[in-house]
Amino acid sequence: MDDHPANLVALEAILSPLGVRLTKASSGEQALRLLLSQEFAVILLDVQMAGLNGYETAGLIKQRERTRNIPIIFLTAHSQDETEVLAGYAQGAVDYLRKPLSPEVLRSKVSVFIELFRAQHQVRYQAELLRHQEAQAREAATRSADYIARLQALTSLLAEATSVTQVVQALFEHGLVTLESSATSLCLLDPSRQALELIQTVGYPPEALKGLERIPLTYSVPLTEAVREGRAQWVSSRAESLARYPAQGASFLFPSVAALPLIVRGQAIGVLGLSFPRERIFSEDDRAFLNAVAHISAQAIDRARLYDEERLAHERVRNAAARLKVLAEATDAFSAANRDLPALFEAISHQVVRHMGDSSILHLLSASGDRMELASVRHVDPAHQEYLLQLMGAHPARFGEGMLGQVAQTGQSVLIPTVTPEDLSGRVQPEYRPSLERIPIHTCLVVPLWAQGRIIGTLACARSTPGISFTQEELRLMEELAGKAAMSIENARLFQQQQRTQEELRRRTEFEQQLIGIVSHDLRNPLGAITMAAGLLQASPGLSERQLKAAQRIASSCERATRLIRDLLDFTQARLGTGIPLNRRPMDLHDVTRHVVDEVLLTHPGRHVQVESSGEGWGEWDPDRIAQVLTNLLGNALAYSPAHTPVRVRTLGEPEGARLEVHNQGTPIPAELLPRLFEPLTRGAPSENQPNRSIGLGLYIVREILAGHGGTIEVASNEAAGTTFTVRLPRRSLT
């Protein structure tokens, strides 16, 4: 400050190298006004000025609280004595300089005060910044404490929830009310994990929710993006919404959105969405808190689901145990009927009334399948039971008509939880309707009786007590009960049919065995007489060739008849179960084979049989029965092979037994005949050597003889190799 403009210009020139802002005043009054609106590091004040002099101006400056600490340097062009200097310092001066001024000294002194001012300003800035940071820290601590308290309260509420509905209720009514959001939504993934299903919303206008009950994951919005990426999505402004979701951003109702995935075991199960009325920068505390809310919510939902699954599992176990108990009791009751159909029908009706309802009606399809026959009726009230019996007897159910007939036709169960007059008029035959009013029905069900893939009848049940309707679970129980009833009925029918069949078979078998026994025993005596007479005729001298041939034919026929009788006796013994009698003793298979071949060739002159033997032939067998086996096999081979072809018989000793093979050429055994070749009464096609077919017992008796020895027989037959029967006999007796 100086009242001479030249001095002000000089001072400005001296101080300009300091690079600071300089303010000039030409009077004390002007200086005081400038000090009211600006802040200064140092004041250069001329002592001699018109109006307020330097000392007076300095005094007024020091009187003000805002300016009293500003350093003042007095400038004077007059000689200064000690009194003036003391007066200057008394007015608060920090220095006293005389003109002409030394530029270096002035700049040095002013720069000191400038640096001091800057240092003081920095200290004040740091102090203010520290106070601001402390305030922010206190605010963050308060907010964190509030977040923690909210999380604790929400965790406590969610811990008490045992269903998803309770979790959602706790979350929306208590957990999200203080989050300053205008609208909140909770979505869970559907079973296909391809879309979000809206579970609960608060704050959204109804028109905004249209079409959003199910949001495909392919839809580009923060909710679906959070689920797809498995991390929270933060949208702070409308501009960000338009940038990130150009197709949907304009439709967003709120400028700021947070979408928080609900993660359980590394997989998203849904998403929590919050919308805010103003643009909002989400702090780290906000994000941590909202992520924590989403985490405990996801855990609570998962825990509630597990609880629901466990409860349902326990309920299913209890229902299954109860159902098994009912079915077990019913099974025991059905078994106790001992395949007696009337008793079984009564047991079925009794079990239905005992476990299901007040009445039971059992119908079975007739043999023709065009009508339904009443099998059993039962009611808890004996008077009603008698009335129902009369009603059903007077008006039999018809296949395909009414509820019972339709169930029998379609095989589909019918459940009516609450019976109305409309149900009776639409489902019940007209003749039943007036009578059923006498026996009120509140709820009923009808199930088909399935047995071996076909419907054999229906089983109906009803309750008269209002308020206790049949459920789907009870319908399944009734169907299972009907299944066991149908199986028991079918088994009883099959058992009775089997008994009738077995009785008929027993009578036929006894007759056949008696007939065969009588015929075979009664024929042996006359055949023996004929054989003896034929032998005498052959030995008589003087017979002509024609007479001799006739006697030989008589003897051959008797021999065939004797073999037939023997086969019939063996067949009878085998069929009776006693088995063909055997007389085992040591024998040589090779010798017996050669002896049998020689005997057979006597009756087949002109045929050739090759016999090959090797190895040990001794064993414990019945020689007569083994000869019978070989005779039958060799006779078949000669009968079913061309006359000019040889028959080969081989006997081989093996380590554990012996093997017998009979081979012949000729037409192979038909493939369809091979599986039953050794069954009784099975015969091959007649050949040129045997035009008359046998009765088909030979190979059956062969198999039974070998079975008695513990042996086996096999056959192989084809066009190229011919036919070979292979017999294997264990060397030692099985007894």
Query: Which of 132-141, 312-321, 483-492, 554-563 tops mean pLDDT?
Result: 483-492
Confidence category of residue 7, pLDDT binned at 50, 70, 90: confident
How much is the pLDDT for 691? 45
Is the pLDDT reported for residue 335 higher than 70? yes
| 95 bridge partner residues | 73
Residue 325's pLDDT is what?
Answer: 85
pTM over 0.75: no
Amino acid letter, 51: G
Taking 90 as the threshold, does the pLDDT of residue 447 lie above it?
Answer: yes
| Range with lowest mean pLDDT among 13-17, 248-252, 356-360, 503-507 | 248-252
pLDDT band at 576 (very low <50, low <70, confident <90, very high): low
Cα distances from 96 to residues 23, 25, 106, in angstroms, run 20, 19, 11
What is the DSSP-derived secondary structure letter of residue 371?
A: B
Sorted by sequence, the CB contacts under 8 Å of residue 546 that are 6+ apart come out as none
Averaged over 673-691, what is the pLDDT? 69
Check if the beta carbon of residue 60 is closer than 8 Å to that of residue 52. yes
Ranked by mean pLDDT, the top range of 42-51, 334-343, 354-363 is 354-363
User: What is the pLDDT averaged over residues 288-303?
Assistant: 87
Tell me the Cα Rg of the chain. 60
Highest mean pLDDT: which range of 281-290, 322-331, 719-728: 719-728
**pLDDT of res. 629:** 92
Average pLDDT over residues 215-239: 90
pLDDT tens column, 461-508: 988 878 788 989 889 999 999 999 999 998 888 888 888 888 887 787
**What's residue 183's pLDDT?**
84
CA gap 706, 697 in Å, rounded: 14
What is the rounded distance in angstroms from the CA atom of residue 576 to the CA atom of residue 599? 31
**Would you state the pLDDT for residue 619?**
92
* Residue 645 in this model has a pLDDT that exceeds 90: yes
Kindly indicate the confidence band of residue 634, based on its pLDDT and cuts at 50, 70 and 90.
Answer: very high
> Which amino acid is it at 218?
T
Above 50 in pLDDT, residue 582? Answer: yes
Residue 693 has pLDDT above 50, yes or no: no
CA distances from 470 to 78, 411, 422 (A): 123, 19, 18
The one-character DSSP state at 252 is -
Please give the Cα distance from 148 to 159 (Å, whole number): 16
Q: What mean pLDDT comes out for the span 364-390?
A: 80
pLDDT at residue 515 is higher than 80 = no
Mean pLDDT score of the chain: 82
**Does residue 80 carry a pLDDT above 80?**
no
Residue pair 389/414 in contact by the 8 Å Cβ criterion: no
Q: pLDDT above 70 covers what percent of the chain?
A: 85
Give the tens place of pLDDT for each residue, 135-177: 766 776 666 677 777 777 778 777 878 888 888 887 777 656 5
The pLDDT value given to residue 434: 54
> Which residues lie below 8 Å from residue 164, measured CB to CB, with a gap of 6+?
188, 199, 301, 304, 305, 308
pLDDT in tens, 15-54: 888 888 888 888 888 888 888 888 888 888 888 777 788 7
pLDDT at 326 over 50: yes
- Which residues are within 8 A (CB) of 590 and not within 5 positions of it... i.e. 6 or more apart? 613, 617, 651
What is the torsional sign of CA 686, 689, 691, 692? negative
* pLDDT exceeds 50 at position 637: yes
The arithmetic mean of pLDDT across residues 94-122, rounded, is 80
